[in-house]
Amino acid sequence: MSSKRKTLSAALSRREFIVRTGLGAAVGALGLKVECSSLAAPGGRIAIVVFSKAYQPLKLSFTEAAALTAEAGLSGVDSPVRPDGEILPEHVKDQLPAYAEALQKAGLEMPLVTTAITGPDSPQTEAILRTARQAGVKFYRLGFMDRAPEDSWHKQLRELRARLADLAKLNKEIGIGAVIQNHSPSGRTYVGGNVDELAEIVAGFDPSQIGVAFDIAHALKVHGQGWPSRFEKIKPHLKVVYVKDTNQAGHFVPLGQGQVAGSGYFKLLKDSGYHAPISLHIEYDGPSAAQPTTRPALLKALKDSVSVLNGWLAAA
């Protein structure tokens, strides 16, 4: 695949104790080996971490980011380690351990990171993955890859799976797993945005090396009420869950203001035995919901989202 296409406090707190107790070894109905984190939340609830892209406008230090995360009642972060991210790839060896240490001092973890990696030859791939694994990260999200309209899907699929096979070998060596997100079109058409295609991409790979990060909001935007049958196809590879909300107009809105509450998704997750962390995404683009850009606004958005999400999980 051409490069053009490769756009594919500090004492042992109560939370720190919970972190160390672990989640458990296996999840039966999903066929999941829940190895993606040692996180567990109070009362046995699923742990919630925040995709800390939302922190970037505030230009927080790692200590400040950890304090905000703890104050919001979260269990950790899913940090963007990519160009224009919270951590730039060329700084990963110094900054990722520093961030992980700041989180650990607050009784938090970083079980996930989000990258621009699409293959072993992506910039700084080994440095990112080895540093992340040493910092306790279990899974990283792959970078986005575009559909190539000039090629057939089957040709692109063969090329993509060959790259992923090479990446899976590296993941196995390092002891870390990659996940691919289903992402709806937004000015570009992403590989794997259609969950049927995503199932073809990951088929046959060891889920601990090439898995899926399932985003219910993007699935609703692409498949509407037909998303559950697609979810069944990728369920054996499910490693991470992303949560945000989308309304009928296709806008991302605060949790509880869109279609996710009535989707039956969290009952399905509960019945499946899912216990890995949920990555909470604070992403709004609706006309009535402004993206929070100050600490008080972001803290409120985080607390409100955690409250709504825990409510959904408890009611499932």
243: nearest Cα among 191, 187, 282, 194: 282
Q: What is the pLDDT of residue 306?
A: 97
282: nearest Cα among 297, 269, 264: 297
Give mean pLDDT in consecutive 10-residue pieces for the chain, a chain of 316 residues.
39 35 32 37 75 98 98 98 97 98 98 97 97 98 91 92 98 98 92 96 98 98 97 96 96 96 94 91 90 97 97 93
**Is there a contact between 274 and 311 (Cβ–Cβ < 8 Å)?**
no
Q: What is the pLDDT of residue 18?
A: 35
* Domain of 215, in residue numbers: 3-315
> How would you classify the pairing of strands 139-141 and 245-246?
unpaired
Q: What is the pLDDT of residue 44?
A: 59
| CATH assignment of the domain containing 238 | 3.20.20.150
Coil/strand/helix, residue 180: strand
Phi-psi map region of 24: left, alpha, beta (phi>0 left; psi -120 to 50 alpha): left
Helix intervals (H) in the chain: 14-21, 62-71, 92-105, 125-134, 153-174, 195-202, 216-223, 227-234, 265-272, 295-315
Give the global pTM: 0.86
Q: What is the pLDDT of residue 130?
A: 98
User: DSSP letter string over 189-238?
Assistant: -BTT-SHHHHHHHHTTS-TTTEEEEEEHHHHHHHHGGGHHHHHHHHGGGE
Structure token pair of residue 193: 């945005």
> How many domains does the structure of the chain reveal?
1
Q: Give the relative orientation of helices 195-202 and 153-174 as an angle to the nearest 10 degrees.
A: 50
**Is there a contact between 54 and 70 (Cβ–Cβ < 8 Å)?**
no
Structure token pair of residue 240: 């991470």
